[in-house]
Amino acid sequence: MREVYSNILLILGWIFLVFSIYLFLWTFIEISAIYIGIGVLILGLLSLFFSKKILNQSGNFLSLYDR
């Protein structure tokens, strides 16, 4: 069950990271998107970090290949 939670957090983390890049690109049009982008980026990094901690794995938490 821990692997399921870890995989869900991994997927959410990467979705948040991709969405935050989109929001950073959107800041050229609207400046308030940068605050939302920073928040989503932090959520994405935390999700990836905790997905790695749930399985008690060491290594780079951004890597998809350490699992």
Per-residue tens of pLDDT for the chain, all 67 residues: 777 777 888 888 888 888 888 877 777 777 777 777 788 888 888 887 777 777 666 655 555 555 4
Sign for the pseudo-dihedral over CA of 10, 12, 15, 16: negative
Cβ(17)–Cβ(38) under 8 Å? no
Is the distance from CB of 60 to CB of 47 less than 8 angstroms?
Answer: no
Return all residues near 23 (Cβ < 8 A) that are at least 6 apart.
33, 34, 36, 37, 40
